[in-house]
Amino acid sequence: MAKYQIAVLPGDGIGPEVMDQANRVLDAVCSKFDIQLERTVYPVGGYAIDHHGEALPESTLKGCEQADAILFGSIGGPKWDSLPLDKRPERAALLTLRSHFDLFSNLRPAKIYEGLAHLSPLRVDIAQSGVDVLVVRELTSGIYFGQPKGLEGEGEEQYAFDTMRYSKREIRRIAISAFDAAMKRGKKVTSVDKANVLVCSRLWREVVEEVAKDYTEVTLEHIYIDNATMQLLCDPAQFDVMLCSNLFGDIISDECAMLTGSMGLLPSASINGDGFGMYEPAGGSAPDIAGKGIANPIAQILSASMMLRYSLGEEAAADAIDAAVMKTLSDGVLTGELMPKEQRDKACTTEQVGTYLIQQI
């Protein structure tokens, strides 16, 4: 029997309640596929600040180090927004975990599910033409981590500076992630850059072109970031895999997520070179609906499925979850935010969605 250690970090807001459902679903697939998942819960985010004085306690980091993967909920909320930036949950925990484990490859699928096109903020005909994009975002370099960064000078001439920086090695490994992913999907990579302005983008293009030579079946296109945000609006169906640097990926992945109109359905994976990864919903901690039992658990459940697939290699179990999600959605077992306003009295609770989904496994 395959046996794995998972660090579970539920975090704040709706994190704990959607994590409960992900755990139930994991229990169901584990017993069906004979997998043993030992799960240990660790504090993170605002909860960890309140109870342990910091967003990412040493014990949590140690726990993650000993695990085969991290299943992450969501963090942050108004309560901690007035803390100094470096102490705030999102930054202190997320950026540290990403760089500590070298989780350079961030996979963010965004897709309009059948029957849910009406949720998209796009015009009906465009939404129906389909959005099914995988954003592959570089997550541990670029302007997020580039040095030097700081403040210099005095008075009105005081200036701030940040450094965008990419090495060939860093570009190559994320490009390979994107091309590998494209081989399992639509065999098209659109690399997003600003090569008409940035030296980093020029090196990016050069290395991406080199990597493309090893993937003759994959079509490669380059697009400027400004044009990409436009093309996503008028013709999103042209995109399959979008390969982005850290900052551009932050922007593009959020735009893609919003295009689907159903953030509560979108998982994400952040993986390093050894297959270790952190898996979390694309949406935030939604403090406004936390504790009400109405949050959509599917993004968290699909994050668990990505964990099985990418870090544990348990493809069959991941497929089973994905199929159960599809069935649940197409059977109309939905939380309120996925329904037209006038039908929301028929909405399912977080737990009802979890229960129905488990029955499909």
Query: How far, in Å, CA of 155 to CA of 178, rounded?
Result: 45
Which residues bind to its own copies, rule: CB under 8 A? 85, 88, 90-91, 95, 120-124, 126-127, 143-144, 146, 149-151, 153, 155-170, 172, 194-200, 202-204, 225-227, 229-230, 233-234, 247, 250-251, 253-255, 257-259, 261
**Residue 133: which H helix or E strand, with range?**
strand 132-138
Question: Is residue 289 a known part of a binding site?
Answer: yes
Q: Which is nearer to its own copies, 199 or 316 (CB)?
A: 199
Closest contact distance (angstroms) between CB of 80 and its own copies is 12
Question: Is residue 180 a known part of a binding site?
Answer: no
Residue positions counted in the chain: 361
Query: How far, in Å, CA of 22 to CA of 267, rounded?
Result: 12
Question: Is residue 284 a known part of a binding site?
Answer: yes
Residue 131's binding partner among ligand IPM, its own copies, none (Cβ under 5 to 8 angstroms by kind) is none
Residue appearing with tokens 């030992």: 38
Q: Which residue minimizes CB distance to ligand IPM?
A: 90
Query: How far, in Å, CA of 17 to CA of 38, rounded?
Result: 19
Rounded to the nearest 10°, the torsion over CA 325, 111, 181, 171 is -130
* Phi, psi dihedrals of residue 277, rounded to the nearest 5°: -155, 165
Residue 146's binding partner among its own copies, ligand IPM, none (Cβ under 5 to 8 angstroms by kind) is its own copies
State which of positions 174-203 bind ligand IPM (CB under 6 A). 196-197
Binding mask 210-249 for ligand IPM (x = CB under 6 A): ----------------x-----------------------
Q: Which is nearer to ligand IPM, 91 or 185 (CB)?
A: 91
Q: Which two tokens stand for residue 208?
A: 């991406």
**Residue 158: which H helix or E strand, with range?**
none
Task: Please tell me the count of residues contacting ligand IPM according to CB under 6 A.
Answer: 8
Question: Is residue 108 a known part of a binding site?
Answer: yes
Q: Which of 226, 235, 331, 346 is an active site residue?
A: 226
Closest contact distance (angstroms) between CB of 318 and its own copies is 28
Query: How far, in Å, CA of 313 to CA of 315, rounded?
Result: 6
Residue 138's binding partner among ligand IPM, its own copies, none (Cβ under 5 to 8 angstroms by kind) is none
Q: Which two tokens stand for residue 244?
A: 């982005």
- CB 212, CB 191: distance < 8 Å: no
Residue 42 catalytic?
Answer: no
Question: Is residue 181 a known part of a binding site?
Answer: no
Give, in order, the Cα–Cα distances in Å from 318 to each of 112, 265, 324, 350.
20, 16, 10, 21
Q: Which two tokens stand for residue 341?
A: 């306003």
Q: What separation, in Å, do the N-terminal and C-terminal C-alpha atoms of the chain show?
A: 19
Q: Which residues bind ligand IPM (CB under 6 A)?
A: 90-91, 94-95, 196-197, 226, 250
- Output the known binding site for NAD(+): 77-90, 284-296
Q: Which residues are catalytic?
A: 144, 194, 226, 250, 254
- Output the known binding site: 77-90, 98, 108, 137, 226, 250, 254, 284-296
